[in-house]
């Protein structure tokens, strides 16, 4: 019998298939899903539209998907993979079963494998510039040959891209959508069945980015913690794990830095001093220029390091990595301070000096890009965190530090307003979830000045910042969280978003 007539699991596992309907004898014997190529042919986008959680979705094959939502009376539940897959117990059938299961969900969400291309194009144009960890060239090369038998971790990456592109509607309460729950289940399946790969880590990074951006901060912290452990298991924290392929080496480095950046920013936003990822050294290499990498153009010279001086022109993501490296020290200083007051004061001054050295360069680079710079926002938030710690610990420096907070918030707001005077020119899909915290901090400082009748234009700056936060809220739910905090009379500059 021709292998092309076999079911997908048998063909993938190179096993004999009697092509019995609805389930071949081999699949029936080992208890796995039996799917034929023609089962996928008739899937349409209309049939695959997401159903509300708790409603059953009809799938184009004989056995229900392990992730499909099903109803039991009036109580919704999600079917668990282990309840359906005896084939997990057999190494010879496990991979084919998982590949098929994830392919089913991809088709249910996209309608066809061709539709992944359109979604990925949107992802690479809108979301990717803010989190450039997936190689556009390598992803598109692999996408050409995608099929129901493709590796589950790569297919899941397409689902993760679609998740990240989801934006809230006006009155939505939460972004724990069916697609979000689906990708979490898929990632759990990948982890449980040994898909310990770069693609699985990238899926987890995108999911954590989505979670943080939509205010699911506890979920994001858990995802990053698991992601960090998996990344270390496959050696992303070390150079030289790509078998000499420099393009993959760069992608691995970027993914690891993204894990670290998320971990540090979540820590700063939740006042948490214990990171899930270890600290880098000053000699740790950072990513190459984003535009060069997007075109798969790899310089022959060694990459810049964390300690590379501020003068050379490097990519925007590399700048974020440098700032994330400094934030590690700011978090420890602010949220796990030393009992030695002299040491604490000296360290505070040194951290401020380091962050202030970055500001002019980041302002210059942002003006060239004409968009909100994540590195600048992170640097400004780190300074606010440093100043808040100093205000609470040093009575002698209180007046001077308060003046610095006011000056920093005014100068940053004026710069942003000059850069983007028309708020309707801010592209929603291109916004980073790392920005709302900085905008909130500036707004609190300016509102305090306005309420005290001090600071020329403080009220106008505050109102403009609130308007910008409202625009961010159309893309990221976390911005709405910060807007809600303005309702408190005692709104603090440094707060936990949880």
Q: pLDDT tens-digit profile of 356-410?
A: 988 888 888 877 766 678 899 999 999 999 999 999 887 778 899 999 999 999 9
Looking at 249, 269, 294, which one is the last position of a domain? 249
Output the CA angle 240-246-247, nearest 5 degrees. 125
Asked whether residue 263 is assigned to any structural domain, the reply reads no
Percent of the chain with pLDDT over 90: 50
Asked if residue 242 and residue 99 are part of one domain, the reply reads yes
pTM (predicted TM-score) = 0.84
**321 in a domain, yes or no?**
no
Closest CA relative to residue 290, chosen from 166, 379, 377, 373: 373
Residue 159's pLDDT band, with cuts at 50, 70 and 90, is very high
Q: Which of 249, 272, 293 is the last residue of a domain?
A: 249
What local confidence, expressed as pLDDT, does residue 58 receive? 35
Res. 12 pLDDT band, cuts 50 70 90: confident
- Nearest C-alpha neighbor of 98 from the set 204, 201, 191: 191
| CA pair distance 160, 145, nearest whole angstrom | 19
Q: How far is it, in rounded angstroms, from Cα 380 to Cα 374?
A: 10
Q: Are residues 370 and 495 in the same domain?
A: yes
What CA dihedral angle connects 96, 208, 261 and 445, to 10 degrees?
170
Do 357 and 242 fall into the same domain? no
Task: Let me know if residue 291 belongs to a domain.
Answer: no
Give domain status of residue 309, yes or no.
no
More confident residue, 153 or 422: 153
pLDDT tops 90 at residue 180: yes
Q: In the predicted model, is pLDDT for residue 344 greater than 50?
A: yes
pLDDT at 316: 87
131 within a domain of the structure (yes/no): yes
Cα gap 308→61, rounded to integer Å? 56
Asked if 319 and 364 touch (Cβ cutoff 8 Å), the reply is no
Residues 439 and 417 sit within 8 Å (Cβ to Cβ): no
Q: How many domains does the chain have?
A: 2
Q: What percent of the chain has pLDDT over 70?
A: 86
Say yes or no: 91 and 229 in one domain.
yes
- Is 366 buried (19+), middle (13-18) or exposed (0-12) by CB count in 10 A? buried
89, pLDDT greater than 60: yes
Given a cut of 80, is residue 1 above it in pLDDT? no
- pLDDT value of residue 241: 57
* Structure confidence at residue 117 (pLDDT): 93
Query: Is residue 476 domain-resident?
Result: yes
pLDDT at 290 over 70: yes
Same domain, 236 and 350: no
What is the pLDDT, as a whole number, of residue 80? 45
For 136, the domain range is 42-249
**Of 220, 249, 278, the domain-final residue:** 249
């Amino acid at each position: 019998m021709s292998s092309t007539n076999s079911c997908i699991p048998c063909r993938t596992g190179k096993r004999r298939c009697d092509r019995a309907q609805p389930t071949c004898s081999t699949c029936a014997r080992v208890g796995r899903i039996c799917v034929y190529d023609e089962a996928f042919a008739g899937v349409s986008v209309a049939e695959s539209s997401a159903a509300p959680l708790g409603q059953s979705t009809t799938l184009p094959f004989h056995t229900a998907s392990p992730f499909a939502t099903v109803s039991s009376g009036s109580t919704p539940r999600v079917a668990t993979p282990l309840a359906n897959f005896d084939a997990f117990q057999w190494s010879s059938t496990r991979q084919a079963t998982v590949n098929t299961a994830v392919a089913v969900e991809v088709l249910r969400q996209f309608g066809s494998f061709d539709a992944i291309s359109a979604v990925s194009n949107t992802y690479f144009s809108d979301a990717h510039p803010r989190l450039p960890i997936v190689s556009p060239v390598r992803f598109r090369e692999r996408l050409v040959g995608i099929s129901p038998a493709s590796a589950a971790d790569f297919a899941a990456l397409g689902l993760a891209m679609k998740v990240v592109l989801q934006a809230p509607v006006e009155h939505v309460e939460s972004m724990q959508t069916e697609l979000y729950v689906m990708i979490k289940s898929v990632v759990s399946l990948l982890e449980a069945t040994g898909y310990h790969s770069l693609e699985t880590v990238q899926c987890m990074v995108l999911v954590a980015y989505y979670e943080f951006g939509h205010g699911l901060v506890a979920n994001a912290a858990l995802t990053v913690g698991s992601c960090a452990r998996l990344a270390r298991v496959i050696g992303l924290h070390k150079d030289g794990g790509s078998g000499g392929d420099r393009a993959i080496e760069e992608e691995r480095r970027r993914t690891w830095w993204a894990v670290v950046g998320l971990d540090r920013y979540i820590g700063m936003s939740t006042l948490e001093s214990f990171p899930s990822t270890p600290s880098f050294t000053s000699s740790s290499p950072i990513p190459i220029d984003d535009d060069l990498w997007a075109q798969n153009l790899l310089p022959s010279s060694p990459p810049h390091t964390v300690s590379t001086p501020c003068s050379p022109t490097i990519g925007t993501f590399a700048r974020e990595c440098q700032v994330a490296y400094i934030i590690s020290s700011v978090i420890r200083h602010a949220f796990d301070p030393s009992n030695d007051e002299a040491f604490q004061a000296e360290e505070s001054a040194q951290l401020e000096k380091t962050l202030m050295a970055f500001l002019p360069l980041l302002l210059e680079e942002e003006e060239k890009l004409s968009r909100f710079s994540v590195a600048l926002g992170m640097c400004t938030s780190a300074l606010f965190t440093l100043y808040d710690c100093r205000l609470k610990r040093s009575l002698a420096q209180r007046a001077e530090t308060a003046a610095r907070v006011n000056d920093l918030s005014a100068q940053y707001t004026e710069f942003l307003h000059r850069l983007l005077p028309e708020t309707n020119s801010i592209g929603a899909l291109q916004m980073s979830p790392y920005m709302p915290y900085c905008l909130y901090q500036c707004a609190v400082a300016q509102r305090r000045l306005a309420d005290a009748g001090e600071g020329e234009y403080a009220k106008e700056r505050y109102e403009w910042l609130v308007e910008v936060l409202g625009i961010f809220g159309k893309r990221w739910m976390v911005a709405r969280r910060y807007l809600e905090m303005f309702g408190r009379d005692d709104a603090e500059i440094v707060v936990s978003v949880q």
